[in-house]
Chain A
């Protein structure tokens, strides 16, 4: 029984970085920008939450620094893919390489080690064995839903992702809406970092969670609540792997594949039953056919 509760709580903690990033991805894609740079942004936010917490001796400051850093990297994605209308995937791939390099470079210069930071002792308090920040996921999911579906801003954001021409004609600024969507996704990666082992930055610690978050967003049908539920699926699969790896009679490497295979299976089963925003991934230029 105790193990069951442990599994439930740990699973929630493992799911929340994916969930936060997936909510961010919903905002970005709903505005019409595919953000494959989530992985790289998370590498950066994971680094800066640790750095910020150590320097300002406060995890809240660390979180603030991480959110700002996430938005800054996201801003590059917005400039390149919205203003200059470069292929969004190419921009994302370039940013992921850049982010990987920046984090390692800064780690070497600040912590004198290329692949890991110092230990950060300033953490969120624990409730029932997990970080209290995990529970912020619930109100933030609700807020995300409210903003997207019940506010003028949310409606405009979605209209820009569905039909930018029409939105433009009605006086919605397509560029600013898309900037907002991408920047929100960067900021959300900062929240993701708060629940992804903020005690130390280690190179490679995100291990593909940014991409998993994208899969969760698709599986969640571009809806914040759906995305969070899908993130729970991936998070619990990963928790299952970690908690039971040694007890299952199949080789550990096969258990390690689980979340990735799950992502592929889920995506393969999903398509046709969900629809991306109509202008998702398409650059928008005023007055161009």
Chain B
């Protein structure tokens, strides 16, 4: 009987994200009709870009990898009550440190690849360190400092790629970029594995080693949060700092650790683009993924498993946006509108559901 009731609450908690997703899609439909497109044409465009072939579907999963890592980074910090908006800057710096390890270190491949992964994590954690320390020691709210650090990171890598780390031969007319990463540090793809499983994924779709990294990190975060004492402390701090304090948790230490680990996870966001797709570093690696990560974490309710689903859904939305851009008169930016709305609807309906659950529990207690 008790187990049944728990399940009821769990189901109610799932209501908010599902409701948010559905309402957002309905709004998308409304916008589409206001713009004067036929819904049929719009759905055809979305279908064509997302589900129509194995290759398209695989692309959705491919772009979900960096999104997952970004969402995981934000979610982990959230769990400890830290709002890490700095994922953007952290992966720009993390990617650069990783790329440097890939360019300037010489070692066999089986060492070099873990090395660049660790270097990227170190870079991301490094960039999170100052906002983390300022938050704990000085009480400066991390939202403003991390946003400032995003801008600083962008200018910094812009300088480094154009200056000391530039790998562009004088006279050639290439965009600013570093030297090429050594072959020993380059990520192979897993496409042959999927082919062996009967899924024919063409070579231009990147299901590369960063997928393995993402799976390992997802498992690590789950294990840390739900199986270790530290994870319990993280969740306690995130739920209520007062209660955690009375229970003897050292809040500052827990939050600094979570902030740094979140930065380390963020450092991994650029892996796919740098080590599998481009093979060099440029400040023009895809931007905005850090902010997508906030939406993904919120929609995934800050749990590693939730983030798996929400990052795939987000990748689907992104691809759908490109489809709309190409085949209809609905601009790609509608996806940002939908994302913003989805966040707002989810948090509002979540609040309403939580209040409802609380009142149910009160009644049960009586």
Binding site for B on A (CB under 8 A): 36, 76, 80, 84-87, 89-91, 93-102, 104-105, 108-109, 114, 207-208, 211, 214-215, 218, 251, 253-254, 256-257, 260-261, 263-264, 267-268, 271-272
Contacts and interface: CB of A to CB of B under 8 A. Distances in A.
7 contacts: A36-B143, A90-B298, A99-B340, A105-B336, A108-B331, A218-B144, A257-B151
Interface string B159-189: 1001100000000000000000000000000
B34 to A, nearest CB: 9
B10 to A, nearest CB: 21
Nearest to B298: A90
Contact of A105 (B139, B144, B155, B331): B331
Contact of A98 (B143, B149, B344, B351): B344
A97 B348 contact: no
Contacts of A260: 148-149, 151-152
A253 B158 contact: yes
Given A85-B351, A100-B336, A93 B343 contact: yes
Nearest to B161: A253
B49 to A, nearest CB: 19
B138 A105 contact: no
A101 B334 contact: yes
Interface residues of B, number: 44
A76 B159 contact: no
A232 B43 CA distance: 50
Interface of B: 35, 83, 85, 130, 134, 138-140, 143-145, 147-149, 151-152, 155-156, 158-159, 162-163, 291, 294-295, 298, 331-341, 343-344, 347-348, 350-352
B339 A264 contact: no
B336 A90 contact: no
B336 A104 contact: yes
A98 B352 contact: no
A102 B31 CA distance: 11
B152 A84 contact: no
A208 B152 CA distance: 12
A93 B139 contact: no
Given A97-B340, A101-B334, A114-B333, A267 B347 contact: no
Given A91-B347, A211-B148, 17 more contacts: A80-B348, A86-B348, A90-B343, A96-B340, A97-B343, A98-B343, A100-B333, A100-B336, A105-B333, A105-B336, A108-B331, A208-B148, A215-B148, A267-B144, A267-B145, A268-B140, A271-B138
B337 A263 contact: no
Point out which of B83, B85, B337 has the most chain A C-beta atoms below 10 A from its C-beta: B337
Query: Which 5 A-B residue pairings sit nearest by Cβ, starting from the closest?
Result: A98-B340, A101-B336, A94-B343, A104-B333, A253-B159
Nearest to B294: A93
Contacts of A84: 347-348, 351-352
A28 to B, nearest CB: 15
B134 A101 contact: no
Contact of A102 (B155, B337, B343): B337
A214 B83 CA distance: 16
Nearest to A250: B159
Given A253-B158, A256-B155, A271 B139 contact: yes
A225 to B, nearest CB: 21
B163 A251 contact: yes
Contacts of B350: 86
Nearest to B292: A97
Contact of B134 (A93, A94, A211, A267): A267
A114 B336 CA distance: 13
Given A104-B331, A211-B148, A263-B144, A97 B336 contact: yes
A215 to B, nearest CB: 6
A90 B162 CA distance: 36
A263 B351 CA distance: 34
Given A80-B348, A253-B156, A271-B138, A101 B335 contact: yes
Nearest to B291: A97
A216 to B, nearest CB: 11
A87 B162 CA distance: 41
Contacts of B148: 208, 211, 215, 260-261, 263-264
Q: Which of A253, A254, A267 gathers most chain B CB within 10 Å?
A: A253
A5 to B, nearest CB: 30
A94 B147 contact: no
A80 B140 contact: no
Q: Which residue, B144, B149, B333, B348, has most C-beta atoms of chain A within 10 A?
A: B333
A128 B148 CA distance: 33
A15 B151 CA distance: 19
Nearest to A285: B355
A94 B347 contact: yes
A76 B348 CA distance: 11
B352 A215 contact: no
